Structure 1
C-alpha cells in the first residue's frame, strides 16, 4: 500500500501522466489514486495544471538577423587571437639574451637551494637511523648493520 507522501512525491516529480511514473510503483500509485479519493485527485489536478502550463510554453526561435549578428560578433572576437604570435614573455625593456640569462640564473639558484636544504633536512633522519642501529645488540644485528 502506498502512502500519501510517496504518491505526492511521485506526482510532483513525474507529473500527472501515469505513463511517466516509475514502472515499479505505477500500479500501486494508480490503486492509491482510486482509493484515496479527493486527496489524490487534488494532487493530480495541481500536477495537471502545472503540466498544462509547461506544455503551453514555447520558446521563440531567433530571427536570421539576430543569428547573423551573433555569428559576426563571435568571429570578430576570435580574429585578434588568430593574429597573435602565441605566448610571449614580457620583456621589461630588456633584450632576449639578458632576459634568458636572468631566468637561467634564477633556475640555477633554485636548484642549489633545493639541494642544500634537502641535505640539511635529511641529516637529522640519517643521524637518528645511525643512533638506532648503535643501540641494537645481538647476533641478529649483523643483518641490519652489515
Structure 2
C-alpha cells in the first residue's frame, strides 16, 4: 500500500474501514497504523463528520407557492382536424379497391351464342337488329 493509494481510498470511501474495498482493506489498515496514516485518517474523519452533519432544509411553503405561480400554464391543444379527413380518404380508397376487385366477378360468364349477353350488356349491333 502506497501513501498515494491510501489517500485515494480515503478520498473515495472516507475514514470508515468497512467502506474501503475489501481487497485493499488489510493493506489500508496496516498503513493507517503508521503515524502518517493516522494523520491522514484523522483528516478524513473530520471531513466525514462535516459531510455527515450537513443537512439541506426542505423548501418552505412560500417558495413552493412562488414556484407554482410562475410555472407556465399547459398549452391547450388544437383538435387534430386531419384525422377525420384521413379516415374518409382511407374509406374511399378501400371502396375503390373493392370496386376494382369485384368488377371481374360481376361480369356474367360467357355461354351460348352471346346474343343475349350482348343485348344485356348494351352491344349496339344487337339493339339495332332487334328493332328497339
TM-score of the two chains, using structure 2 as the length reference: 0.54
Match of 1:16 in 2: 15
Aligned residues: 79
What is the rounded CA distance, in whole Å, between the counterparts of 2:29 and 2:50 in structure 1?
Answer: 23
Match of 1:135 in 2: none
Q: Which runs of 5+ in 1 are unaligned?
A: 87-146
What is the rounded CA distance, in whole Å, between the counterparts of 1:18 and 1:9 in structure 2?
Answer: 13
| Residue among 60, 69, 73 paired with 1:78 | 73
Q: Deviations over 1:93-122 (max 9, x none)?
A: xxxxxxxxxxxxxxxxxxxxxxxxxxxxxx
Match of 1:119 in 2: none
- TM alignment of 1:27-46, pairs within 5 A: 27-34=26-33, 37-46=34-43
Q: Look up the SS of the partner of 1:78 in the other structure.
A: coil
Q: Which runs of 5+ in 2 are unaligned?
A: 80-132
Q: Which has the higher helix share?
A: 1
> What root-mean-square deviation, in Å, do the aligned CA atoms of Structure 1 and Structure 2 show?
1.8
Alpha-carbon offset, residue 18 of structure 1: 0.8
